[in-house]
Amino acid sequence: MQHTDSPDKRVAVPGTKGSVKAPANASAPPETVHPTVDNDRPSATKLRLVGTVLALLRMGPLLILVILVVLLANLSPVFFTTLNLGNVLVQSAAIAILAIGQLLVILTRGIDLSVGSTLALSSVVGALVFAETGSAFPTIVAMLAAGAMIGALNGFGYVYGRLPHPFIVTLATLSIARGLALGLSGGQPISGMPDLVRTIGAGSATWIAPWIPNAAFLVAGVAILAILLLNRVVWGRWIYAVGGSPEGARRLGIPRSKVLVSVYILSGTLAGVAAIVTSGRLNAGSPTFGQLSELDAIAAVVIGGASFLGGRGKVSHALIGALMIGVIRNGMNLLNIEAFLQLIVIGVVIFIAVETDVIRGQLESRFRVLKAAAE
């Protein structure tokens, strides 16, 4: 019955549709078009203005970094020498690697407070394994595995412990990892690292430019892998999706829990990579490595221009932020600025960066409203 019914209806319906549609079309535009015509000029200029400010805000961190470099190059004769730039790169390398891991976590609206402690644990585990085996391969594997293990603890604890936010679980592992590092090492630094690790952490690229530290190449390698993951691999797209709308991701069948666990494991593993740089540079594993460097990593991501609210951010943001922290520290050391002032300056920069992110969010919704009015 219904099969024969519905074609009839479909013949009948367009008639009613046309008759309803026509008056709607005839009456609607005059009422809606007039106000937009009146405001056309101001809203178009406003739109362009808001658009320009937005573009500037998005470029902001890179601009500030360039300004900082130019400023310091003029203030200090030492700053823009290859030797010192190499220093900046070495000092920024571990933070940059931690920041890339932190970026992955922050993209999913999370936070990983444990990376500094994980770095320390990983360095101690590496030193112990090297003392036992005397060979590079098991040492490096153990360092990465220690990092991945703490990361897994974070991820599974957060997701399957059904915690409302990763803050507490990573705070717990911050304490646990530091405690393990102190216990395993007896509270003392353990010296001795494999040649390969020392080459990565302390060596430089004698074959191209001796002032470029090898650690910078490691950072570049990690950055390229992270860029490929985030931009080319489906999993990376899902990391953004989970950060953009956790509920939307669930409804569209994106494996939200697995994505969340994975970013903490990656962050932990990258803390292991950062440990390779730090222990290679100092030829030791120590339970005191990486103190407060989780805060540097978080600050780097935010200063660099990624959104602390998740979903927005690139690897370049983490790198720019890490460089910015490195440059500020290095520059202020060169200018003999006291340590307390450095802390205050870094703090102010973090505040400005977060405020910029908030303003950017507001301008974007403003932009949307203006855009809708202009169309």
Comparison of 254 and 265: residue with beta carbon closer to other proteins: 254
Provide DSSP, 61-93.
HHHHHHHHHHHHHHH-TTTTSHHHHHHHHHHHH
Give the C-alpha separation, 329 to 299, whole Å.
13
Minimum CB distance to other proteins smaller for 41 or for 251: 251
Record the tokens describing residue 69, joined without a space: 């470099």
What is the C-alpha separation between 235 and 1, in angstroms, rounded?
A: 49
* Residue 360: CB minimum distance to other proteins, A: 11
CB of 256 to other proteins, least distance (A): 10
Whichever of 249 and 299 has its CB closer to other proteins, that residue is 249
Q: How many CB atoms lie within 10 A of CB 137?
A: 11
Site for other proteins, rule CB under 8 A:
2-3, 6-7, 9-10, 13, 16-17, 20-21, 24-25, 28-29, 31-32, 232-235, 237-238, 240-241, 243-245, 247-255, 258, 311-312, 364, 367-368, 371-372, 375
Q: What is the DSSP letter of 284?
A: E
Residue 252 DSSP symbol:
T
- Residue found by looking up tokens 């290679």 in the block: 280
Which is closer to other proteins, CB of 164 or CB of 253? Answer: 253
Q: In whole angstroms, how close is the CB of 13 to other proteins at the nearest point?
A: 6
Q: How far is the CB of 2 from other proteins (least distance, A)?
A: 7
Min separation Cβ 249 and other proteins, Å: 8
* Sign of the four-CA dihedral 13, 19, 23, 29: positive
Pick 23 or 164: Cβ nearer other proteins: 23
CB nearer other proteins, residue 16 or residue 336: 16
> In degrees, to the nearest 5, what angle opens at C-alpha 95 toward C-alphas 94 and 97?
65
Alpha-carbon distance of 117 to 286, in angstroms, equals 11
Amino acid at 116: G
Q: What is the DSSP letter of 206?
A: T
Cβ proximity to other proteins: between 54 and 202 the closer is 54
Angle at 137 between CA 262 and CA 102, to 5 degrees: 30
CB of 298 to other proteins, least distance (A): 19
Q: Which tokens go with 32?
A: 């809606």
**Minimum distance of other proteins from residue 20's CB (angstroms):** 5
